[in-house]
């Protein structure tokens, strides 16, 4: 979707009065050609809004809510559910929690997500909020084919407008989809600082084990597909001689 270039220019003038696009680019690290192309096309990417907001001390979620396309971000559900919080925890954190309980050393601090990235974060979030037919409802609302939505999720990405629309349909926290896509941080979205640790700690031993099983199953399938693709590539190279 992106946001209107005209609206962006008006917003940018209000956020950075007296500064040109070139000044903004120097401060944000955005290439001047990139911003110029977006303005000419009439659509500015959400990540551009986020980077400008951060550079000028404005909360990115609040900044996006200034645009018509995301005007309900602050008005919709805000606090994430325990399922959403847990969906953003990597399997490494889960296994460490299991190990701590098994050895009775007490619940550990959940490792920094930046150190232990959750490669299936978007799919995990989508599945956590899915009432059962989210792909179909999202497709009907946006016109994006269900197979294209599935392809994005399999590739570990989801367009911001699709993430927010999915949250609207599911009744989930609207900024939650932006957190899952990596567009904004949990802190910027107002997530509780210790929310993930508390959500994990609230799980029973059996729930924690089943969660780890499901996450490891997903990782195993990804690795198996990767190994299969590598094998096919090697076979093709050998055949090409």
CATH number of the domain residue 9 falls in? 1.10.260.40
Give the pLDDT of residue 103. 83
- Domain end residue (candidates: 46, 70, 94): 70
Domain co-membership, 153 together with 105:
yes
Give the pLDDT of residue 54. 96
Does 35 fall in a domain?
Answer: yes
pLDDT band at 107; cut points 50, 70, 90: low
Domain that includes residue 201, residue range: 82-206
Domain co-membership, 201 together with 91:
yes
DSSP category for residue 70? G
Q: Is the pLDDT of residue 237 over 60?
A: yes
Does 241 fall in a domain?
Answer: no
Q: Is the pLDDT of residue 238 over 90?
A: no
CA 177 – CA 161 distance, rounded (Å): 9
State the virtual CA torsion across 144, 149, 150, 154 in degrees, nearest 10: 150
Domain co-membership, 98 together with 181:
yes
User: CA of 101: how far to CAs of 25, 60, 205, in Å?
Assistant: 49, 38, 8
- Domain end residue (candidates: 70, 93, 109): 70
Domain co-membership, 87 together with 57:
no
pLDDT in tens, 111-162: 555 566 677 889 999 999 999 999 999 999 999 999 999 999 988 899 999 9
In the predicted model, what is the mean pLDDT of the chain?
89
Does 91 fall in a domain?
Answer: yes
Q: Which of 198, 172, 175 shows the shortest CA–CA distance to 188?
A: 175
Under DSSP, is residue 19 helix (H, G, I), strand (E, B) or coil?
A: coil
- Domain end residue (candidates: 35, 70, 105): 70
Tokens of 135: 């792909």
Does 16 fall in a domain?
Answer: yes
Q: What is the DSSP string of 91-124?
A: HHHHHHHHHHHHHT--PPPPPPTTTS--TTHHHH
CA 146 – CA 135 distance, rounded (Å): 6
Percentage of residues in the chain with pLDDT exceeding 90? 62
Phi-psi region of 107 (alpha: psi -120 to 50; beta: other; left: phi over 0): beta
Domain co-membership, 26 together with 102:
no
Does 77 fall in a domain?
Answer: no
Domain co-membership, 58 together with 162:
no
Does 177 fall in a domain?
Answer: yes
pLDDT band at 178; cut points 50, 70, 90: very high
Task: Name the least confident of 26-30, 102-106, 174-178, 187-191.
Answer: 102-106
Give the pLDDT of residue 231. 80
Contact by Cβ (8 Å): 95, 116: no
pLDDT band at 100; cut points 50, 70, 90: confident
Q: Is the pLDDT of residue 34 over 80?
A: yes
Averaged pLDDT, 3-15 = 95
Domain co-membership, 111 together with 169:
yes
Give the pLDDT of residue 195. 87
* Number of separate domains in the chain: 2
Domain co-membership, 128 together with 64:
no
Give the pLDDT of residue 4. 94
Does 159 fall in a domain?
Answer: yes
Domain co-membership, 170 together with 123:
yes
Domain co-membership, 193 together with 100:
yes
Does 124 fall in a domain?
Answer: yes
Domain co-membership, 87 together with 202:
yes
Domain co-membership, 65 together with 169:
no
Give the pLDDT of residue 113. 54
């Amino acid at each position: 979707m992106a946001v209107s270039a005209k609206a962006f220019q008006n917003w940018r003038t209000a956020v950075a009065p007296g500064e040109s696009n070139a000044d903004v680019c120097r401060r944000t690290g955005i290439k001047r050609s990139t911003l110029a192309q977006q303005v000419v096309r009439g659509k500015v990417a959400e990540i551009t809004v986020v980077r400008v907001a951060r550079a000028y001390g404005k909360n990115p979620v609040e900044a996006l809510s200034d645009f018509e396309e995301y005007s309900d971000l602050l008005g919709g559900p805000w606090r994430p559910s325990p399922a959403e919080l847990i969906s953003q925890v990597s399997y490494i954190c889960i296994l460490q929690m299991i190990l701590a309980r098994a050895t009775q050393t007490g619940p550990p601090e959940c490792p920094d997500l930046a150190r232990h990235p959750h490669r299936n974060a978007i799919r995990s979030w989508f599945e956590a909020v899915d009432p059962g037919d989210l792909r179909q409802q999202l497709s009907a609302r946006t016109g994006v084919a269900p197979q294209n939505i599935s392809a994005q999720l399999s590739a570990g990405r989801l367009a911001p407008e699709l993430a927010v629309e999915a949250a609207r349909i599911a009744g989930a926290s609207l900024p939650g989809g932006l957190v899952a896509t990596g567009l904004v941080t949990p802190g910027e979205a107002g997530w509780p600082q210790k929310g993930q640790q508390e959500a994990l700690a609230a799980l029973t031993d059996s729930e924690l084990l089943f969660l780890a099983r499901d996450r490891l199953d997903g990782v195993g399938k990804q690795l198996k597909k990767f190994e299969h693709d590598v094998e096919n590539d090697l076979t093709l190279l050998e055949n090409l001689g």
